[in-house]
Structure formats: structure tokens, C-alpha cells
Amino acid sequence: MISAAVAAAAVGFVPVTAQAAGPSADPGRAATATSPAPAAGSAKDAAVRDLAAQQAKAKADATARSAASAGARQGEYFDVFMGAVNSNAHSVGLATSASTDLTNSFVAYDIDWGDGTIDREYGPAGTNVYVNHRYAEVGAHKITITATDTYHKVSATTTQDIVLDGSEFTPHTPTRLLDTRDGTGTGAPAGRPVAPYTTTRVKIAGNGGIPAGVTAVALNITATNASSGGHVIAYASGTKQPATSNVNFVAGQTVPNLAIVPVGEDGYVELANRSEGPVDLIADVTGYFTRSAASGYTSVKPSRLVDTRTGLGAAAGPVAGRTTFGVQVAGQGGLPAAGVTAVALNITATGPKGSGHLTAFPSGQQAPSTSSVNFTAGQTVANAVIVPVGPDGKINIRNGAWDPADVIVDVTGYYSADGKAAYLPMEPERRFDSRTGTWPLAGQDYHYETMWTSGRALEAVVLNLTVTNTQGSGHLAVAPDPSTVADRIAGKAVRPTPPDSSVLNWTKGATVSNLVQASTGTSGVVDIWNRGWEPTDLIVDIFGTYEKN
């Protein structure tokens, strides 16, 4: 049975004429659509009343035709109705009902879901039947329902095409879509930074080889030449600006951060400058999501692939300026040896001798004119990236600075054709802010965040984590909690062990953000660790979920 909220959203209940027991229906009778979905709370009742009204009208039409026809007899009328609504990334909720003037009609509904699965449900005519179905693959499916009166053997059939809400990932060669410094990209006049408390638009669909119909995009957003402190908000064009943040910066700072941003119906995203001064913005794309089968996501236990300070995964010692080194991704850190199309990483630059940037890109290609991590001399800075993987299972990392820097690479997940989790964007939401009503996160302590799933099988959640009012240096680490919500209620929760990886680094007094694709493990609870020794305020924003099939 589907929930009241799902039933409420069911649309397009269309009557279909019987294929037996009497003459065909009046071809002039128009299909009737339901009213818009009612508010939550009375949702299911409203949907039932709406469907009942349709059935009553259809039956009244049939009775009127019957009375107008000499010698007409009972049993000429048998219609079936269907409404389907997507309830999550891989599932569809369905409501069906038959309407007839047959006496004591009991109906069998054969539901062909369009993926080789056929279910049978039963119910009296005029009574709504609710069913859920979970598909293995996202994309378009055709649902066919054949309703049969089990005694009179009268049948009617209806079909409906649906497209699941879940999206899968397609890697894209790192490409610059926006640079307000030189006017590159839609909405970016040459040499014109984004004015205070205004927005600039970035064309996604149909730009840089990205197709129409994209639902979300992976953008590395960089703020530079800022004249005052503030933050950037990325969101879908045509939607309300959310009360979340993606990139935080101070005057004179160059700061990148990965964002997975829903794309508006017009194919654009908006970038808002929430500061009192102008700021230049850069946006580089590394992939996009569509409602069709491509690459699904699989999370892995965070692990370290590269640390040039110790010689792990690369030559020991800082990476020389203007040089590139390769990183074996496939077969490492819990990833399969083949089939990986893109990888989710956290790349950290530490101990740089000068200012510059790192660029991550697939092996076998020339280094693009994009950036993944920006740094200044002596700074330790991390940034999440999604990098397409070359045919040899490797990626490359280039130090674009003139001076050497050490590089650390941690893996959190990967995309592949066999990946079972599809992405479901959501309205950005602030889940936690220690500045409002709680205490700062103490040193060597953790905050756990419970991810309400409403029956969904989550693989991971997309979070943006921000630390501010930092009282010392440190870093964040993120991992699934071994204890479930039920364990905590029962007093059986155990203190988890923090992972060895890092997702965000800071110094005293800094405000720093980073995107994290956090595995929910088997508990549905995510731990966020302060691995520094001094307290810090923590902000947690959520942007979407990866749902398994």
C-alpha cells in the first residue's frame, strides 16, 4: 500500500472503455483528469474523493446513454482508472479502480509494470487499490493494467507512461562554463564580477556538450577577488533561493567547492553572491545527472589512496610545480578493477611553497583549464571532486602552481554502469547549525545526523559541511555510525571509531565549507567528527540522496 502522501499525488486517472459485454463507449466522452494534489494530512482522502467523483460522472454518462437507447440492458459499462506517481528514485506508487453498472462486481487487476514483472491485485469495483513497485533501473517505463470482472468476464485495459524521479550520472570532461573575470558563460559580462546580493545565471542544458533534460549538475564553484566576506548559494533557476550555502569566503580569498546543483526547467542554475561586496565566480562542470540509465553510485569506506608526504600511491615528496602524476583508482580503496566511470574523491593540498591550484582529470587526456583545489603558500585546503576515470582505470593530478606542494587523495565512492544507487535531488535544507541553540562541537567529539528515509533504501546523502568560529586548527572526518536509531533509543549505542580520512581542514578563526557524499551504511546515521582539539561550530546542509534499487 502506498502512503497517504503518495496517494495524494496520483494524477491522470483516465477511464477506458470495456472491450466486451456491450457496445463501445461514446468516443465523444472526454477523459477526466484529477484536481491538483491536496495538502498533506487529508491527501489520501482527497485523492479518493476525486477518483470517486470521476467514477460517478463516468457511470452517470453511461446511464444517460443507456436510457437514451431503446432496449439497452445492464452490463454495457465497465471502465478502469489508473493514476501513478513517483514516490522516490526507483519506485512508483499506483492507484487503480474499476467503475461499472454490473451487480456485485469483483475485479482482478493484472498490472504489467513494463520491466517484465506482472502483479495481480483484487478488489470490489469502485474501491481503490494501491500498489508500490520498485524498478531495478531508472528511466521510462510503460505500465499496463487489465481489469477483469471475475464473474462476468468483462475486461478493460489502460496504459500510462512514467519516468522515474531517480537520476544517474554521466561523467563529463572538466569544462569551464562560467568565468565572470573574462565574461565566459551566460550571464557574465566581461570583467564584471557579481554585484552584492545579486545572482548570475549559468547555462547547463545545451552548453558544453551537456544534453537537454538534465536534472542536476556537478559543478566546482570558485569564488575569487572577493572584496568582503560572504558565501555563494547555488540553486535551480526558477526556484526559491534556499537558506543554505555552498562556498564561504573572506576578502581577498580564492575558495573552490564542489556542488551538486538541481537544474531548472529552463536548463539554468543560479549562483547568488551573499556578501556586501562584488565577487568573481567560476564554475567548472565534471558531470551531470539525467533520468535515464547511465552510471549509478556506490559508496565505499573512506580510505586514503595518495599521500605524497609518505609515498603512499605516488612518489614520496612534494609534487613539483607544473607537473602531473597519475593515480590508480580502479581496484584501489574498495573500488572494482574495471567498470568505474567516475570517482568521488577528497583532494587536499598541504604545505605548498606558493599559491596555485591542483587540477584532477581523466588519464589519457590533456590537462583542462579548470581547477579542483586552490591554495596559497603554507595553506592546507581540501575540496571534494568527482573525476571521470580514464580507460586504464587512472586519473591524473596536475600541480598548476610554480612551486611544489604535497597532495593527499581520499576516496569516498564511485560511479559505474553496475552502480545501483540513483540520485534524487531535494530542496536544499539546513539540517543542523550548532550556532542556534546548541553548543559548538567539542574537540575529538562527533555529531551524529539521522537521515529519515521514509522507506527508502539509502546508499548515501549529499551534504555541505561548514565549520566556523573555529578555536584552533583541525579537520573533519565523516563515516556511517554503527549504531541505529533503534539502538540509541534502547540505550545500546556504542561510541564509534573515527575514520583515518579527512573531508575538511581549517585553521583558527576560519570559515570553511566542503561537499561530502556521505555513506549512510546500514544504520542510516552519519557521524561528523571534529578531529581537532578545540571546539568549532558546525553547519550541515543537505542537497539530495542516493537511493538503492
Residues 128-170 pLDDT 10s: 999 999 999 999 999 999 999 999 999 999 999 999 999 999 9
Please answer whether residues 465 and 476 qualify as being in contact, where contact means their C-beta atoms are separated by less than 8 angstroms. yes
pLDDT in the model for residue 9 = 37
Give CA–CA dist 191/183, Å, rounded: 6
DSSP state of 28: T
- Sheet containing 91-100: give its strands across: 78-86, 91-100, 129-134
Give CA–CA dist 182/162, Å, rounded: 43
Q: How confident is the model at residue 39 (pLDDT cuts 50, 70, 90)?
A: very low
CA distances from 210 to 68, 231, 287, 333, 499 (A): 58, 27, 9, 30, 36
pLDDT in the model for residue 438 = 84
Cα angle 3, 5, 10; round to 5: 95
Please answer whether residues 95 and 10 qualify as being in contact, where contact means their C-beta atoms are separated by less than 8 angstroms. yes
Residue 27 has pLDDT above 50, yes or no: no
Q: Is the dihedral of CA 363, 365, 366, 369 positive or negative?
A: negative
List the grid coordinates of 451.
537521515
Please answer whether residues 98 and 79 qualify as being in contact, where contact means their C-beta atoms are separated by less than 8 angstroms. yes
Give CA–CA dist 409/327, Å, rounded: 9
Beta strand 268-275 pairing with 106-112: unpaired
Point out the least confidently predicted range of 258-272, 480-494, 505-519, 532-546: 480-494
Candidate ranges 129-138, 336-345, 430-439, 452-461; pick with highest mean pLDDT: 336-345
Q: Dump the DSSP string for 263-332.
A: PPTTSEEEEEEEESS-BEEEEEEEEEEESSSSBEEEEEEEEEEEETTTTBSS-SSPBPTTEEEEEE-TTS
Q: How confident is the model at residue 492 (pLDDT cuts 50, 70, 90)?
A: very high
Averaged pLDDT, 250-269: 96
Please answer whether residues 382 and 350 qualify as being in contact, where contact means their C-beta atoms are separated by less than 8 angstroms. no
pLDDT in the model for residue 83 = 86
Average pLDDT over the chain, rounded to an integer:
87
pLDDT in the model for residue 3 = 36
Residue 366 has pLDDT above 50, yes or no: yes
- Sheet containing 381-388: give its strands across: 381-388, 340-350, 406-416, 296-307, 421-433, 537-548, 458-468, 512-519
Q: How confident is the model at residue 385 (pLDDT cuts 50, 70, 90)?
A: very high
Candidate ranges 39-48, 415-424, 497-506; pick with highest mean pLDDT: 415-424
pLDDT in the model for residue 75 = 53
Q: Give the chain's length.
A: 549
Nearest to 456 by CA among 541, 387, 524: 524
Phi, psi of 98 (to 5 degrees): -110, 145
| 203-214 pLDDT per residue, tens | 999 998 999 999
Residue 40 has pLDDT above 60, yes or no: no
Averaged pLDDT, 94-106: 92
39 or 417: whose pLDDT is higher?
Answer: 417
| 48-79 pLDDT per residue, tens | 555 555 556 666 666 665 555 544 445 578 99
Give CA–CA dist 531/4, Å, rounded: 43
List the grid coordinates of 499.
575514520
Averaged pLDDT, 462-476: 97
Averaged pLDDT, 288-296: 97
pLDDT in the model for residue 88 = 84
Please answer whether residues 146 and 155 qualify as being in contact, where contact means their C-beta atoms are separated by less than 8 angstroms. yes
pLDDT in the model for residue 51 = 57
pLDDT in the model for residue 542 = 97
Please answer whether residues 120 and 109 qualify as being in contact, where contact means their C-beta atoms are separated by less than 8 angstroms. yes
Cα angle 133, 138, 141; round to 5: 65
CA distances from 205 to 108, 208, 213, 336 (A): 44, 8, 7, 31
pLDDT in the model for residue 184 = 78
Q: How confident is the model at residue 410 (pLDDT cuts 50, 70, 90)?
A: very high
**What is the distance in angstroms between the CA of the first residue and the CA of the last residue of the chain?**
18
191 or 78: whose pLDDT is higher?
Answer: 78
pLDDT in the model for residue 19 = 37
Secondary structure E strands in 105-244: 106-112, 118-124, 129-134, 140-149, 155-163, 168-179, 199-203, 214-224, 230-236
